[in-house]
Amino acid sequence: MNVPDELRYTEDHEWVRVEENKIRLGITDYAQDALGEVVFVEVPEVGSTVALGATVSEVESTKSVSDIYAPVTGTVVEVNAELADAPERLNADPYGEGWICLIEMDDAGQLDRLLDGDAYRAMIAG
């Protein structure tokens, strides 16, 4: 499994890339592999507020439907609208073209609860 060290991770298999006071959010390589072929991604609306732990997105695959949870409280400032026509990007490039949304954080201290690469690798191995 690909687990880039520069990212942070949630126990629900989302990845976070910190970009100043914002975070870019997606699902991990482990998550996309477990889901199978992604056929639909519901992205949040730009301008919507999200709360830590609340559902921010939904990913539908040939196997199941999974909620994607907000790793921080904040405001959605950008979404990957290209996923509407190409949801398979989550499978092909989960850490690049498969990102879901960009959230402006209300409290950067919430990042402290996220896992680093080593902790995430240990979690999925266990």
Structural domain including 94 reads 8-125
pLDDT, tens digit (0-9, with 9 covering 90-100), for 30-74: 999 999 999 999 999 999 999 999 999 999 999 899 999 999 999
The verdict on residue 93 lying in a domain is: yes
Does residue 2 form part of some domain? no
- Beta carbons of 66 and 3 less than 8 angstroms apart: no
Number of domains in the chain: 1
In a domain, 12, yes or no: yes
Q: Does a structural domain hold residue 3?
A: no
Global pTM value: 0.93
pLDDT digits (tens, 9 = 90+) for 62-79: 989 999 999 999 999 999
CA neighbor of 100 nearest in space, from 67, 65, 51: 67
Domain presence at residue 71: yes
| 61: in domain | yes
Spatial distance between the Cα atoms of 106 and 5, rounded to a whole number of angstroms: 24
Residue 1, in any domain of the structure: no
CATH code (residue 117): 2.40.50.100
